[in-house]
A and B are shown apart, each in its own frame.
Chain A
């Protein structure tokens, strides 16, 4: 298991957690972008395996999934990209995956292979704590932490159960809805972080809808242990598909900016 609590404590600030869809826009570029993010100051990586029907994701990440799938990337190749990234530099990696991909790969083998690629924690986007027993034993046996989501409409007693099932960090959704960059950070986030902190010591990371340095700072000030930024980065990729050097330099610059805001 990874000592996430130790990682967050040693930072003495909110962790910067960029999200990428593995293989977007192609495997080689994807790896370069992930290395760029590491060099630009990412503390932890959240990486997603592309799926044909990503119901928890908004249009930006859906399109990234389809770009990667158009290049025929398989879950096995996606795990291999993770291995290459962690060989480049040791960094904690959380995985975001849709359940059907895990089921078809074979649960035990999937978690074992992700662990050997250097992975630390796994979040199955469409699997709630009610069915946690379908993955938790296999994930634990492989030495992986299990991450679950908490949302603004999660009841108090359910929040407690979610916190109890979570061993890595709680992935807290800042707003009702799917992933996607938004203009303002939801005012639901601060009360939610407070509610979570009152019942658990598990670190709290916030994602969905954080799209610039100011918002990242806001979420950090609200008490988040980590700030997950996905769609805003994926959007940079989408906007620079015909110019790879510019894509990389903009991703680098964007991540460095956020990092600075979190210092």
Chain B
């Protein structure tokens, strides 16, 4: 490897030897093409005309009235595929094309990254295999159907709890045996180097656009920027636009699940400890011996016992605050946001909205809070209905 892939002491590439040549190849290709004008203009065209960038920055007026301060929404939910994931899959997919790879594999939790990879597989005519935990296949069946319509094979992973962690394990194992013609399109800002760097690079447009939009729409930077954090790709995307603005408070919101005391959550940075998982040194949820915990969260996209290593570093340096909200508060936020704005937020993104709602009465009316709405909630309707059947809602 040319670079160490470290964020402070976090990151690195802790993988079996057989994967090192593949990671070196991707690192070299990324170094070469990410600055290549032809690659950049091709990707820019795809961002604009395929995915729908730039996404709007929207002043959520009625929601703002509810909470008593100004809430602006970065509308990544409006992207093709319904989430920020397409930013990364277009970038890595194009990289795979430039490298001459013919096959794509990816892991997925909520199915958003799987869908975004399946779309790009269809777009570039690449054979695509998506690894998805059996629990997630069940709770996100609409996305599974969409992936199959795009021509991807969905591999249902039954190991462990059948969630994102197990999907990553099996995708890594499959890649180990097929490294020569297969590109592993990693979905989150975690995993071994160079993935955290690559994923951040392709998610950076969120932060770059949002910062410029703030300046042009209301003439200053926001006071607070917040996003949900599972592996952390949408968060690193928007945070990267503001980390060098010390006056901007940055808050990452993790899945508190059924509550920290129950142990059923995925609040890795909030209560995890440092260890090594899936190729990176980072915060993880583990027992005292280093066995990885099973996680639980209402949103499949956050249900992961690790987190991108740059977030671990941003936590330790104190630049970003990380905390968590519980499932019930997330459902409240989902309902209130939908009712006040007519926008269905993904349950993942609803974590950030839940934290915003909790700031009611704590922030002055002119405070500007920027929320990254990483995805739309259509995929979550079934889960919401399970927890909060419509007939029980107040008229």
Question: A residues bordering B, Cβ < 8 Å?
Answer: 51-59, 62, 69, 74-75, 99-101, 103-105, 125-128, 130-131, 148-151, 153-155, 158, 162, 173, 175-178
Contact = CB atoms under 8 A, between A and B. Distances in A.
Given A101-B290, A148-B17, A126 B276 contact: yes
A151 B17 contact: yes
Nearest to B279: A126
B173 A100 contact: no
15 contacts: A53-B277, A54-B169, A55-B15, A55-B169, A55-B278, A100-B284, A100-B292, A103-B276, A130-B1, A153-B180, A175-B177, A177-B173, A177-B176, A177-B177, A178-B177
A58 B292 CA distance: 18
Given A55-B173, A62-B159, A153 B18 contact: yes
Interface of B: 1, 12-18, 20-21, 159-160, 165, 169, 172-173, 176-180, 275-279, 284, 286, 288-292
Dominant secondary structure of chain A at its interface with chain B: loop
Nearest to B273: A104
B289 A74 contact: yes
Contacts of B165: 53
B18 A151 contact: yes
A150 B286 contact: no
B1 A53 contact: no
A149 B289 contact: no
A126 B14 contact: yes
Nearest to A59: B159
Given A148-B17, A150-B17, A153-B179, A52 B173 contact: no
Contact of A100 (B1, B20, B277): B277
A158 B165 CA distance: 30
A154 B19 CA distance: 9
Nearest to A54: B169
Contacts of A150: 17
Nearest to B20: A128
A177 B292 CA distance: 23
A177 B14 CA distance: 16
Nearest to B288: A104
Given A100-B275, A100-B286, A177-B176, A51 B291 contact: yes
Given A100-B292, A130-B1, 17 more contacts: A52-B291, A53-B165, A53-B292, A54-B169, A55-B172, A55-B278, A57-B173, A69-B291, A101-B291, A103-B276, A103-B290, A105-B290, A153-B180, A154-B20, A176-B176, A176-B180, A178-B177
Contacts of B289: 74-75, 101, 104-105
B17 A154 contact: yes
B277 A176 contact: no
B103 to A, nearest CB: 14
Contact of A103 (B160, B172, B180, B275): B275
Return the 8 tightest CB-CB contacts between A and B, nearest first: A104-B290, A177-B177, A149-B17, A56-B16, A151-B18, A52-B291, A100-B290, A100-B276
Contacts of A126: 14-16, 276, 279
Contacts of A173: 17-18
B176 A127 contact: no
| Interface-centre pick from A54, A69, A158, A178 (highest chain B CB count, 10 A) | A178
Contacts of A151: 17-18
Given A99-B14, A100-B286, A53 B179 contact: no
B15 A128 contact: yes
B16 A130 contact: no
A176 B159 contact: no
Nearest to B178: A176
A104 B292 CA distance: 11
A99 B276 contact: yes
Contact of A52 (B1, B160, B178): B160
A104 B176 contact: no
A175 B172 CA distance: 15
Given A99-B14, A104-B288, A130-B1, A53 B279 contact: no
Contacts of B16: 55-56, 125-126, 128, 149
Contacts of A62: 159
A15 to B, nearest CB: 21
Contacts of A51: 290-291
| Interface-centre pick from B165, B176, B289 (highest chain A CB count, 10 A) | B289
Contacts of B17: 128, 148-151, 154, 162, 173
A176 B172 contact: no
A99 B292 CA distance: 12
B179 A176 contact: yes
A69 B12 CA distance: 27
Contacts of B169: 53-55
Contacts of B278: 53, 55
B290 A158 contact: no
| Interface-centre pick from A75, A131, A150, A155 (highest chain B CB count, 10 A) | A131
